[in-house]
Amino acid sequence: MKINKKKFIYLISPLTIKKSFYSDLIKIFKTNKVSFFQLRLKNESFKKKLNIGKKIKKICKKFKVKFIVNDDVFLTKKIKADGCHLGQKDMNVLDARKLIGNKIIGVTCHNSIKLAKVAIRNKADYLAFGAFNLSKTKKVKYRASVNTLKEARRITNKPIVAIGGINSNNYKKLLLNKANFLAISGYIWKNKKKPNEAINKFI
């Protein structure tokens, strides 16, 4: 996985996709700050996620953004997305790899170096740690710290994604402490500013 330091944003979708979403996404991608886009829809049917995913895939391809599906390895395969993100309660990396082959597989490691070591052993492509801050998107069960990043960097060169309540005031500290990508959702989609204006706050 190539790391472009200027494109450090790993953008996660809002929980519901409105009509305005697709034009907002195009404007965001035009800022050239996003490396990954993750489709994270918890309450939609497979069919609806498939239809939404196909539209998003076209936009991602046009702007050379990697398209990742959250949780669902079967949807990843059906849509031919660039990869899948797996939580600790989802399918394990080895089984996912059998289904989707050489696609990107990322793993949630919460604040645990032990979980990170398992993910590394199973040949995950990137590790996600968090939450680093309180989040509007989901209830925070695990708190990670800058020390988590430093410990992870000591054991691996794999890309590290920091997640949880990241905004334009607190993001630099994470980049300075070895996070390669910052997963951002609420700050973009639940901001008083337009999504493309919110993303432009990340320099």
**Residue 136 pLDDT greater than 70, yes or no:** no
DSSP-based three-state secondary structure for 190: coil
- In the chain, pLDDT over 70 holds for what percent of residues? 97
Residue type at position 11: L
For tokens 């404007």, the residue is 27
| Closest CA relative to residue 31, chosen from 52, 6, 12 | 6
DSSP-based three-state secondary structure for 163: strand
Q: CB under 8 Å, gap of 24 or more: what pairs does 59-62 form?
A: 59/22, 59/25, 59/26, 59/29, 60/29, 62/29
Q: What is the pLDDT of residue 140?
A: 73
Residue-range domains of the chain with CATH = 9-199 (3.20.20.70)
Q: Which two tokens stand for residue 68?
A: 């990742």
Q: What is the pLDDT of residues 17-37, one digit of tens each?
A: 999 999 999 999 999 999 999
Mean pLDDT of 179-187: 96
**Residue 179 pLDDT greater than 90, yes or no:** yes
- In the chain, pLDDT over 90 holds for what percent of residues? 90
pTM across the whole model: 0.95
**What string of DSSP letters covers 33-62?**
-EEEEEE--SSS-HHHHHHHHHHHHHHHHH
Spatial distance between the Cα atoms of 143 and 100, rounded to a whole number of angstroms: 31
Q: What phi and psi values does residue 99 have, to the nearest 5 degrees?
A: -85, -40
